[in-house]
Amino acid sequence: MKFFVDSANVEDIREMAATGLIDGVTTNPTFVAKSGRPILELIGEICAAVEGPVSAEVAATSTDEMIREGLILGSVAPNVAIKLPLTWDGLKACKVLTASHGLMVNVTLCFSANQALMAAKAGATFVSPFVGRLDDLNIDGLELIHEIRAIYDNYDALQTEILCASVRTPNHVKAVALAGADVVTLPPEVFPKLVEHPLTEKGLAAFMADWEAGGQSIEAPEPAVPGIKLDRGAGKA
């Protein structure tokens, strides 16, 4: 499964990218607005920090305007994925941007399997179902991932990747991975939690205590004395 970082904080993104564990970035209008920076400048810096797709969302709601803004965003860098809302206008814009202009498109705000099917038919590169927001309404967000996976797997022609959004906890990550999601996008602060476990910490502490008690060290061997060659046959008859 691919891991995207859900942020528009360039420093956080660079720090995460340096781990080598991040495959892309997702942003949204809220993140960009909070940054206080011009969107094209910001997206350009993010695209330079990672090799994978960087989702940049349009602000328009009509098809023609979405296409216009999408083409502007797509001109920033080749790894921009245009983020469009899962509306009728958004799907029409998706079809044009993917089929006629060869751009990656992330269709977002998906809350039903039918929506995900339509996004795939429109040629979306990614569809973003919001797991946590469904859970907030006492609707099983994980069930939606299972449904989308089953539908997509029924038809080889549907190549859209399932990009799980609104994922908030390590348990969410495990669950969507088991459900067959292709991508999960996470806030920077969630990533370290994926590797935390009390037994790991306990085991490491025990190993370190034993190591120190044994007086061991890991050092490079001393270099051979220049000009002296060890004769391994010395002393033999």
Residues with a known catalytic role: 83
Helices 63-74 and 39-49 sit at what angle, rounded to 10 degrees? 50
Query: Who's near 40: CB < 8 A, 6+ residues apart?
Result: 72, 73, 76
Cα 77 to Cα 110, 111, 222, distances in angstroms: 26, 29, 51
Residue/partner pairs of 63-72 with CB below 8 Å, 24 or more apart: 63/89, 63/90, 63/92, 63/93, 63/96, 66/90, 66/93, 67/93, 67/96, 67/97, 70/97, 70/103, 70/105, 71/97, 71/101, 71/103, 72/40
What backbone phi and psi angles, to 5 degrees, belong to 5?
-100, 135
Rounded to a whole number of angstroms, the CA Rg of the chain reads: 25
CA 199 – CA 219 distance, rounded (Å): 29
Contact 135, 141 (CB under 8 A): yes
CA 51 – CA 28 distance, rounded (Å): 19
Instruction: Determine the residue type at 236.
Output: K
Tokens 């929506």 found at? 115
Instruction: Determine the residue type at 229.
Output: K
